[in-house]
Structures are given as structure tokens and as C-alpha cells.
Amino acid sequence: MKILLQLAFLLFPFSSLAQTFADTFNLPIPDDGNIGYYDIEVSGLPTATGADFGVETVCINLMHAWNADLFITLIAPDGTETELTSDNGGDTDGYINTCFNANAPQGIWEVWWPFTGTFRPEGFMSLFQNGSNPNGNWHLKIRDTYPFVDAGELFDWSITFGQNPPTPYPFFSSDLPIVKISTSGQVIAAEQKTTCSMQIIDNPNQTNFVNDLPTSYNGQIRIEQRGNSSLWMPKKSFNFETQLPDSSNNNVSLLGMPAENDWVLLANYSDKTLMRNYLAQTFYEKMGRYGPRMRHCELIIDGEYRGIYLLGERIKRDSQRVDIARLDPEENTGEDLTGGYIIKIDWQNGTNLGGFSSQFYQIGNTDGPLYYQYHYPAADEITTAQAEYIQSYVDSFEQAMHGPDFQDPEFGWRRFAAEGSFIDFILLYELSNNVDAYWLSTFLHKDKNGKLKAGPPWDFDLAFRNADYSDGWLTTGWRYDWLANNTGLLPFYWQRIWQDTAFAQQAACRWHELREGPLHTDSLTAIISERAAALEGTQSDNFTIWNILGTYVWPNPQPIPQTYAEEISTLKTWISQRAAWMDANLPVGGCSPVSAVDEAEDAWGSMTVAPNPFDNQLVVNGPNHFNLRLTNALGEVVWQAFDLKNYANVATNGLLPGCYWLTVTSDGKVWSRLVKKQ
């Protein structure tokens, strides 16, 4: 029965003269993979929306056996669509007299079942104030993202128009690059890619304005929401692919990063420093390893400012990313079969999930063995022979690690795994005290004729003192020990490897070597300061639309910093104390220089650096073509050169005595070495 209310009344304290249209349905919510559409016919309104008239409030009343499965949006007659709520409420049962209004004091993500009251939606209702005609069919769209399990029913819903609609946040310029995405009125959902257009405005060393011409990219993309726990946060993260007009891959360089077509936009909602993911990958690169590159930017979608994001690389096989051999479907025998592979340990959800089970359970787990997922080749691309090979190789690694001779340098675990990569990977995760370390977002890779390597690292939102559970806020204690003693989540080899006395010694030597260079306290805090300075001019815009400074956002630990400056100061203090604790608990004795990274796949080969220690001159003999950079303990570049051929003579007579970090890049590979001036 349709109920048409065209009465003038004050519906909410933040609403003006309003007209409400409602419908009573008592209709089922599809649980068969189809989408439910529920219509209200609107008529008699002005013929154009704008700043002084438009959609103010939407109300719903429904039951469903698992709220978090519901993705609910509103669609205007012109096709413009915005998200009301998704991934909220866990296994609770329905939205009971729930209303959405952009001026409400709380967001729908901040409350819990039965969601009775008026709350801010997860999307932007200002999108409807686009000058279009509001008269016609409006659709409430409900998608059950986990069909064939839980039933539901929509009882009724309503839409209110008035003279106080929400309008876009007034954002005009930034010293950061500006990324603009146009959806043509579509909503960007999870596991459902949407074709859009994207422009990037990036004028180096200049202020970027929203209406400037695009300088870095102007073309088609396909985009979707990404994440697990972050999906229920209002500031969404995204995966996207750059495409040509025919929807084929478009490998392009974005914000100075090497050309590719697979990218991410990370929201960093609960990370109020906006930089934890950036810091982790930057630290790893300074350790001489590949970590996905990331650049800060401002994001605008359909004219609505979304805040500061990190635009970065997705983990992918590529000569400029995870530099392993391409593995084609016809490569199923001999040397071809030995690589390259990328596997991961992660949440077991989503589409196209495939992989294999370990022969071993996680420490303390009795529910089932550890599971490895295929990342490259993907589950729908890997052949039977390839799947059998990588499973057999990982089995061999685990058996060697589990066996009585696991420490044997020839017949133990080192026969199958590259020690240096495991050392650096572990040191980064321990420095960050990442609560997701080792059991989520954990990648391993293997090249042709190569050993298994740890990494690249991924997902540091809940690291560096940003978790109020699992001791994630502490500067003391080993993350692998906490997981082993308190959960059933730790793959056994992350603890077993520390029982290898040679490994423990090498890890300690490597740590103290890094602390003399790229992970020196001054260097760590200098990188944080540099990022904070770059974000200072615009972080206030981000925290105006996401008003969370000084308040609890899951899983922020107490005490909660009250300002952005306090967030940065707290991070610096924490990382300094964490590094100092590791200094004291990784005792050193009898270290040999850089031995921890001199593994077969990463060795310098014919490259030489002499003398070391040096005085007024440092001579580097390198590859046919290479770039060279020398940085001090603060991470500042003190000497660099590009496109060198075989040889470099570094004049160092102006440098102060101390330790420096020499980094050589060639053909997508990175070599690093600690050098010292007398």
C-alpha cells in the first residue's frame, strides 16, 4: 500500500520545510544472488535540485538475519546512486526505524543494532543536489552480498525532500596531487568493478587547483572497494585498474611510480597520522628491499572531497614490482616450472579463492592446517603442474624447518629459503609491532631457480601503536611470541626460525647494522617529520569531513592524541622507544659485515665498493647501467647520480665522519650496503 505524504512539517531538528514520500512493502530481500529494487514515485516537486532544495533524509525499516551482508544504496531518477550503509552490524537482525541524514551527529558506522534513530550515511547525499529533476521513480537498492544463507524482509521506506539538503565540502586546492574520479552517478561497491573516468592533477612544487587541467592521467579506470575490516569504515579504500577506452590494460606511470595498470587508493581511516602504510614501505625500501611504492594525494569522487589518500602499487609480478619471472600456462616442466610464484596467508573470503593446505597447523590451532592462497598465478590461471610444484616446494621448506636438522646450513631450511629476506621481513614487522603480522596479508614469493623469499610487506594500518588489542600498543615484546602464546594463528616457522642460533645472531647483526643507517632513530623520525610537513597544509580538510581527531576510532589505543601534531609526536616517541627496546633485546656478538643479506639471489656479484671505511673517495664498480644514492643517518641524500655505466667515483671529502647508506638500483633491482667514513 503506497502512502504519499506531502505535508509541510519539521521532520527533524536539522530539517526545514519538508515533503516526505513513503511506501509500505513487506517484500522479501532477495537471497538468491539477485538485487532487490524498491520504488517510490515522487511527483509535485520543483523540477531541479540544488543548494536550496533536494534530498534531506531517507528512512528504512527492515529485518535481515545478518546485517553485515547488506549493501544498501539510494538511486535517483537520473541514475545517480549513493551508499546508505554496508558491512555494518555484524550478525544482528535488521535496521529498525533507521534514518539517514548528512547533518546527523553520528554516522551509521558508529552505532549498533537496532540502528534506531537518525545517522549520517556512508555515502554522500550531496550527490543528488546536481540540478536534476527529482520527480520520478526513486529506488532503494538492497544487495545481499552473501546469498543463499540468510533471509530478510523490507517493511517500508521513505524519502524526504526539503530546503536544507547537504552540499559538497568546499575544497579548492592542495600542495598534494589531486585525484578526481567521475562515476557518472554509479556507486563504487566491493567485489563489483565499476567503469569510471579519472584525472590526476600534479604540478610539482606548485599548488594544485581542483579545476586545473590534468597533468598525470586522464582516462578510463575500473574501480572497486577493497579491504576486510576497513570495509565497514566510512572512508573507503579502493582497487583500480587503468584502462584504454576498449577496456584493455593501460600501463601508465602515476605520480612518478613505474608504469603499470593495477593500483590502490588506501583510506587510512583509523590511522590518524595518515602515514603508517607509507612509513612501512619506505623503511623497507631503505633496507634495500622492494615494498609497494605509495604517494599521498587528495581524492575527489563526483565532485565530493573524500580526504587524503595513499595512491600506491598493488602487489604484483612485474619487473618494477615483485621482480620474478613471468609464468605462462604452457610452462609446466623443467626449469620453467620453478618460478615465479607469489602466495599469501590472508583472510579466506572473496571470490576466486584458491590455494593449498599446509602439512602443519598454526601453533596451538586444532581447527585445521594453515592455508596458502595463490596470488600469482591467480587461482583461475595456475595450471595443475604449477600448483603441484609450489605446494611441493613449500612442503619441503616447512618439513626442513620442522625437522631435527633444521639449523644445518646445507640440509636445513636455508636450502629452500633465502635467509636475508626473512630477516629483513621479520625486523620490519617487529619494529612496527603489527598485530596482523605473520598471519594476515603475509606474502611469500619464489623466482625461477630461486629460493622462497618473504615479502613484500603489506597492510600496516594497525601497526606502530594503532591497536588496542593483542598488545599492539606496547613498545616491548616480540609479536611472534605474543601470537604463539595467545592465539592459534602463528605459522610455526615464524617462531621456529628464532631457535636457529645462527639465524638469531644474523638477525641481531642485521638489526644493529640497520640502526647505524636507514633505521637510525634520527632517520626514522626525520621521515615522519618530512611526511607530516607535507600533509600539514591539508590535513585539516581531511579531518573536517572525517571529524575523528581526539575521538576513539577502532582500534585506537588510549590515551588518544587530541590533535594532528600530537598524533605525530606520539608516533615518533613510540617508534623511538620500540627501536630502543629491540636494540636491548637483540644482543650482538661476532658480526660479520652485511653477511645477513649476502644471499645467492641478492648478492652484489661483481659489484665492489672500496675502500670501506673510506676517507675522501669511494669507488663503486657496478652493472652496465645503474643509479647510485648515498644517504646519511637522517635519511638525507648527500650524493646521487643517475645512468652510470659500470663505474662511479664518489667524492666524499665534504662529508662528516660517520655511517652512510649506499643504494644502487639497476633494472628494477635494489642493492644496499652500509659504508663508513673515517
User: Tens of pLDDT along 91-108?
Assistant: 999 999 999 999 998 999
Q: Which residue has the higher pLDDT, 328 or 33?
A: 328
Residue 154 lies in a domain: yes
Domain C-terminal end among 266, 298, 313: 313
Residues 545, 299: Cα–Cα separation, whole Å: 12
Q: Is 642 exposed, middle or buried (0-12, 13-18, 19+ CB in 10 A)?
A: exposed
The confidence score (pLDDT) of residue 524 equals 97
The confidence score (pLDDT) of residue 614 equals 82
pLDDT band at 598 (very low <50, low <70, confident <90, very high): very low
- Say if residues 163 and 15 touch (Cβ distance below 8 Å): no
pLDDT-above-70 percentage for the chain:
93
Residue 220 burial (CB count, 10 A): 18
pLDDT tens per residue across span 614-665: 888 888 888 877 888 887 755 567 888 888 888 888 888 888 877 677 888 7
Beta bridge partners of 237: 226
pLDDT band at 352 (very low <50, low <70, confident <90, very high): low
Mean pLDDT of 18-47: 92
Domain C-terminal end among 137, 162, 187: 162
The confidence score (pLDDT) of residue 167 equals 87
Domain C-terminal end among 162, 186, 213: 162
What stretch of H or E contains 4? strand 2-9
Biggest alpha carbon–alpha carbon distance for the chain: 89
Q: Give yes or no for residue 596 having a pLDDT over 80.
A: no
Whether residues 144 and 248 share a domain: the answer is no
Residue 501 lies in a domain: no
For residue 608, what is the domain's CATH number? 2.60.40.3080
Mean residue pLDDT across the chain: 90
Whether residues 52 and 137 share a domain: the answer is yes
pLDDT tens per residue across span 438-496: 999 999 999 999 999 999 999 999 999 999 999 999 999 999 999 999 999 999 999 99
Whether residues 112 and 190 share a domain: the answer is no
pLDDT tens per residue across span 108-161: 988 999 999 999 999 889 999 889 999 999 999 999 988 888 889 999 999 999
pLDDT-above-90 percentage for the chain:
73
pLDDT band at 365 (very low <50, low <70, confident <90, very high): very high
Whether residues 78 and 217 share a domain: the answer is no
Q: Give yes or no for residue 239 having a pLDDT over 50.
A: yes
Whether residues 153 and 9 share a domain: the answer is yes
The confidence score (pLDDT) of residue 4 equals 40
pLDDT tens per residue across span 296-339: 999 999 999 999 999 999 999 999 999 999 999 999 999 999 99
Residue 216 lies in a domain: yes
Radius of gyration of the chain measured on its C-alpha atoms = 27
The confidence score (pLDDT) of residue 657 equals 79
The confidence score (pLDDT) of residue 269 equals 94
pLDDT band at 588 (very low <50, low <70, confident <90, very high): confident
Whether residues 101 and 17 share a domain: the answer is yes
For residue 127, what is the domain's CATH number? 2.60.120.260
Residues 253, 177: Cα–Cα separation, whole Å: 14
Whether residues 205 and 303 share a domain: the answer is yes
Note down the domain range covering 291: 173-313
Residue 470 lies in a domain: no
The confidence score (pLDDT) of residue 663 equals 80
Residue 503 lies in a domain: no
Residues 288, 666: Cα–Cα separation, whole Å: 12
Mean pLDDT of 570-574: 98
Whether residues 141 and 210 share a domain: the answer is no
This prediction has a pTM of 0.81
Whether residues 139 and 177 share a domain: the answer is no
Q: Which residue has the cell 581542483?
A: 210
The confidence score (pLDDT) of residue 590 equals 58
pLDDT band at 189 (very low <50, low <70, confident <90, very high): confident
Q: How far, in Å, are 82, 196, 214, 229, 230 from residue 234 at the CA level?
A: 12, 20, 27, 11, 8
The confidence score (pLDDT) of residue 185 equals 82
Q: Give yes or no for residue 43 having a pLDDT over 80.
A: yes
Q: Give yes or no for residue 600 having a pLDDT over 50.
A: no
pLDDT band at 609 (very low <50, low <70, confident <90, very high): confident
Residues 503, 496: Cα–Cα separation, whole Å: 10
Whether residues 220 and 278 share a domain: the answer is yes
pLDDT tens per residue across span 48-77: 998 899 999 999 999 999 998 999 999 999
Alpha-carbon torsion angle 124, 127, 128, 133, nearest 10: -170
Whether residues 132 and 208 share a domain: the answer is no
Residue 635 lies in a domain: yes
Residues 678, 382: Cα–Cα separation, whole Å: 53
The residue among 23, 19, 28 whose CA lies nearest residue 55 is 19
Q: Give yes or no for residue 591 having a pLDDT over 90.
A: no
pLDDT band at 340 (very low <50, low <70, confident <90, very high): very high
What is the total count of domains within the chain? 3
Residue 540 lies in a domain: no
Q: Which residue has the cell 526539503?
A: 162
Task: State how far Cα 673 lies from the chain centre.
Answer: 29
Whether residues 194 and 245 share a domain: the answer is yes
Lowest mean pLDDT among 146-155, 384-393, 514-523, 590-599: 590-599
Residue 641 lies in a domain: yes
Q: Give yes or no for residue 582 having a pLDDT over 80.
A: yes
Q: Give yes or no for residue 675 having a pLDDT over 90.
A: no
Q: Which three cell numbers stand for residue 237?
A: 579504500
The confidence score (pLDDT) of residue 343 equals 98
pLDDT band at 1 (very low <50, low <70, confident <90, very high): very low
